[in-house]
Structure 1
Amino acid sequence: MSEKKKNKKKNRVIMRSIILFLLIAAIGYTLYNNATAEDVSVLKVGDEAPDFKLVDLDGESHQLSDYKGQGVFLNFWGTWCKPCAKEMPAMDRQYEAFKEDGVQVLAVNIAQSDFEVQSFADQYNLSFPVVIDKTKSVMTAYNIIPLPTTVLVNPEGNIERIITGEMTEQDIEGFMEEIKPE
């Protein structure tokens, strides 16, 4: 065999060995990731609502478990989300109508700056607590993907309903009625 053919064959063996090694490494990495991935279960109606503690724009802490005995209208949103902006005034009006009946609203912003969220809250003159999930830990715990998403938590602390997408004022009123304590 000529020297040229030997070098070509040697180079081919080296290249194939490198490709084989990379494939084995990729498969190993995938298997390792799947084995060690955090097991985040999908929440469903009837599950206990995961507890959390977040701070509102006034610096006050809000822990979900502190609202036990009341209905909680838990709304996940962002300032850039057009449907979120459309439903906020209706949520605020219904909050005013239902807060004396034991229905609370917690608007959970997903990791935006204090300035952006405060400007939004001022623009819509919101009267309910607005908290910021800076680390997205609450978003992860609740498996929130589209915004807006609203989770209705009944007075016992269980998930009554999960609503994705924009709600009308009539929807909001009906949902608040649904979680109002007896």
Structure 2
Amino acid sequence: WATWCAPCLEEMPMLGRWRDALKKEGVPFELELWSVDEDEAKLRQRVQAGVPAPVTWVESPEALSAYLGKLGLDPDSMLPVQMLIDPKDQLRCVRVGAVHENDWGTVKQLIR
């Protein structure tokens, strides 16, 4: 995500609600946000304003591009990008583009 990415900011509260709902159902689920902001001050300001999960700062667009390339994705993929990683650190799903409320059922199926 990035502070300048409107879809990223729009979906954050929903992702937090999904995490909370899964935990209520006893599903071990964590949410982590990776930021590709180049301006660390803007990132810190946004984090202080509130985000639903811990944030990891990917300090360069090149680092993100290299990681996406390793996953077989276009290194220049647009934000947001979501990755679902299981407790054994296995990548279960990657989605490029925003998620929406109507994706909730699919997310639950992937997790179970």
TM-score range for the pair, normalised by the shorter chain length: 0.7 to 0.9
- Is residue 80 from structure 1 mapped to residue 8 from structure 2 by the alignment? no
The counterpart of 1:93, out of the listed 17, 41, 44, is 17
TM-score under structure 2 length normalisation: 0.73
Q: Which has the larger strand fraction? A: 1
Deviation for aligned residue 1:176: 5.0
Are the counterparts in 2 of residues 105 and 128 from structure 1 also a CA contact under 8 Å? yes
1:26 aligns to what? Answer: none
Deviation at 1:97, TM superposition (A): 2.4
Structure ID, larger Rg: 1
Q: Pick from 53, 57, 65: which aligns with 1:132?
A: 57
Query: 1:103 is paired with a residue of what secondary structure?
Result: coil
Cα contact 2:38–2:59 (8 A) shared by 1: yes
Gaps of 5+ in 2: 70-74
Q: Summarize deviations over 1:97-129 as a string: whole Å, max 9, x none.
A: 234621111110014333212222343x22311
User: Paired residue for 2:34, among 93, 105, 108?
Assistant: 108
Letter of the structure 2 residue corresponding to residue 81 of structure 1:
C
Deviation at 1:139, TM superposition (A): 4.2
Aligned-pair identity in percent equals 21
Q: Is the 8 A contact 1:112 1:132 kept in 2?
A: no
Partner of 2:92: 160
TM-score between the two structures when normalised by the length of structure 1 = 0.48
- What root-mean-square deviation, in Å, do the aligned CA atoms of Structure 1 and Structure 2 show? 2.3
Q: Number of paired residues?
A: 103
1:120-171, CA deviations, whole angstroms, 9 ceiling, x for partnerless residues? 2343x22311111013424421235210011111222222111111111342
Distance 1:128 1:176, change over 3 A: farther
What residue is the counterpart of 1:179 in the other structure?
111
Q: Does the 8 A contact of 1:95 with 1:104 survive in 2?
A: yes
Instruction: State the shift of 1:172 in Å.
Output: 4.6
